[in-house]
Amino acid sequence: MWLGAGILPGLLVGTLAAYLQRQDLDASLLRRYLQSSDSDRHITREAVQHLDGLTGAVPEEAAEPVWTAVGRRIARDGG
């Protein structure tokens, strides 16, 4: 099952972590909230792309990544 593989929960945690990191949250607080000694392991390329879509940021790549498009659709449709 797709959700059982941890893809969606990992994407959610990574997207939230990337957002908090962009808001200049202190690194020690972010690690504490994530209950992880390495917060960067949660912030994957896909999570950053998803956050870009949710926030309307322009992706660095020429072609819009899949997770950016998914984030844009969620932001546009309200969930």
pLDDT digits (tens, 9 = 90+) for 9-58: 888 999 999 999 999 999 999 999 889 898 888 899 889 989 998 998 87
C-alpha to C-alpha distance for 47 and 10, rounded to whole angstroms: 8
The one-letter code for the residue type at 32 is: R
Read off the pTM. 0.70
**What number of CA atoms fall less than 13 Å from residue 18's CA on the CB side?**
21
